[in-house]
Amino acid sequence: MMKTKKKILAVLSTTALFAGILAGCGSADSNKESASKGGGSTTLTFLMDNQSPAQMEGVKAVSAEIEKKYNIKTEIETRPGGTEGDNLIKTRLSTGDMSDLISYNSGSLLQALNPEKNFVDLTNEPYADKLLDTFKTAVTVNKKVYGVPAANFSAGGWLYNKKVYKELGLSVPKTWDELMANNEKIKAAGKTAVIGTYKDTWTSQVIVLADNYNVLAEAPSFPDDFTANKAKMATTPAALRSFEKLEEINKKGYMNKDFNATGYEAGLKMLVDGTGVQYPIISFALPNIAKLYPDQIDNIGFFPQPGDSADKNGVTAWAPNGLYINKASEHVDEAKKWLEFFVSPEGQELYMSKVTPDGPSAIKDIKLPDNVYAAVKDMLPYFNEGKTAPALEFLSPLKGPNLQQITSEVGGGMKSAKEGAKAYDSDVEKQAKQLGLKGW
């Protein structure tokens, strides 16, 4: 279980959304009456992202059982991810064309959708108490809870090839210096120590983002001070250190030479093949590996991004997307019942029968299936011992839109760590003023 750090979770960056547009059938009153009499059913529409086929299968399994139990049908349509998908959601909300149920980010991106205006308050629903506080905070705005978890927590850190580690006599690093020593040995063996996939620029952010546990260990008040314009990345040593780690990887030549032309899936192949030995990435990569290389998934391990002290070793975690109810839905009661079943032990068992989790559950008393990935087993002790902290995007509403471009430049040697941190401070300033935050 995650340990709450001061003011935990306000937002996160990666990961999956759901999309779709489908017309409801009949009025709310007529649907409820016909369903209660057994003469008809309510149809809920569900907007999901198109980049998570396994999650789609999980939702379908839950939906089929909900239809049997409650005579509530679910119609699903997918939408694209990224900026295109975000814009589609914002457009549909503004035009009153939103589905009954929506899967979308928790944290800062949720706040940008004005949940008080657009989503149903779930604070007093009985299942709200089943949510872990670390997730609940990520879907809470002005003390009101608006969502339930669409999936499990993910962890930011390093995936590594266990077979190569064994061949080279390497141990899992607990400090940054130990990681650098491993990199030297891997490089000397003629392999890529750190897989770089900057063709997909979002992957360049992970070393900076996954370092937040270490930032908080040195500067616990940084998220609040950062949000209030009392602290900067470039002038806070612990935060600047995250950019320095990214710079150091490049300067010492630990990445593949073609990192700017190498994409995410190619990076996964390098990791599995052992030509690349370590990949800084978020654990949602594990289902992709399992799908593409099912016979190799148990050879992939996980370790948190190390800090400068072995005594403060821990995981930076990402809260999952949330499931939300459209406030303008004609079927709010049925949608609440849908969510209630989804977070129940029966609903989660059905869901995880189709979706092997890439991290711990965000719902209390939910056990993971026996077939979890080896890398998930590596991260569970940190969660169980409370050695976790949320990514910064869950603790602050600020996440500048140009971070991935900036980290690509720092990681690619075009900017120094200090220059990159300053550029990100400027990027965040624009966003803070747009959001109307105090102190800016």
pLDDT per position as a tens digit, 30-55: 444 344 434 468 999 999 888 677 78
Tokens standing for residue 304: 């948190």
Instruction: Assess whether pLDDT exceeds 50 at residue 345.
Output: yes
Residue 6 has a pLDDT of 38
Same domain, residue pair 359 and 429: no
Q: Which residues are CB-contacts of 84 (< 8 A; sequence separation ≥ 6)? A: none
Amino acid identity, position 356: T
Domain interval for residue 345: 28-153+320-368
Is 270 within a domain?
yes
pLDDT tens-digit series, residues 161-199: 999 999 999 999 999 999 999 999 999 999 999 999 999
* Domain shared by 137 and 161, yes or no: no
Q: How far apart are CA 277 and CA 169, in angstroms?
A: 13
Checking if the pLDDT of 411 tops 90, the result is yes
Torsion 357-361-367-373 (CA) sign: positive
269 and 417 together in one domain: yes
Q: What is d(CA 323, CA 101) in angstroms, rounded to the nearest whole number? A: 7
- In this structure, are 242 and 330 located in the same domain? no
From the list 167, 171, 158, 164, the residue with the least C-alpha distance to 273 is: 164
| Pair (272, 421) in one structural domain | yes
pLDDT value at residue 5: 39
What local confidence, expressed as pLDDT, does residue 348 receive? Answer: 97
The DSSP result for 280-330, as a single string, is: EEEGGGHHHHHHH-TTTGGGEEEEEPPBS-GGG--EEEEPPPEEEEBTT-S
Q: How many domains does the chain have?
A: 2
Instruction: Report yes or no on 77 lying in a domain.
Output: yes
Q: Is pLDDT above 50 for 14? A: no
23 in any annotated domain: no
**227: CATH:** 3.40.190.10
Is residue 376 one of the residues assigned to a domain?
Answer: no
Residue 286 near residue 141, CB atoms below 8 Å:
no
C-alpha 38/C-alpha 57 separation (Å) is 27
Do 50 and 37 reside in the same domain of the chain? yes
In a domain, 348, yes or no: yes
- Same domain membership, residue 274 and residue 192: yes
Per-residue pLDDT averaged across 292-303, rounded?
Answer: 97
In a domain, 3, yes or no: no
Is residue 374 a part of any domain in this protein? no
Residue 384 is assigned to a structural domain of this protein: no
50 and 100 in one domain?
A: yes
Mean pLDDT of 109-128: 93
pTM for the complete prediction? 0.80
| CA distance to 41, 60, 321, 397, per residue, from 136 (Å) | 31, 25, 11, 15
At 98, list the tokens: 């939103």
* Exposed/middle/buried for residue 181 (C-beta within 10 Å: 0-12, 13-18, 19+): middle
**What is residue 384's predicted lDDT score, i.e. its pLDDT?**
84
User: Looking at residue 83, what is its pLDDT?
Assistant: 74
Q: Are residues 66 and 215 in the same domain?
A: no
pLDDT tens digits for 228-245? 999 999 999 999 999 999
User: Do 287 and 416 fall into the same domain?
Assistant: yes
DSSP string, 317-341: EEPPPEEEEBTT-S-HHHHHHHHHH
Percent of the chain at pLDDT exceeding 70: 91
Residues 248 and 206 in one domain: yes
The dihedral over CA atoms of 394, 396, 402, 408, expressed in degrees to the nearest 10, equals -60
96 and 245 share one domain: no
Pairwise CA distance, residues 315 & 87, whole Å: 32
pLDDT of residue 400: 87
Identify the H or E element spanning 185: helix 176-188
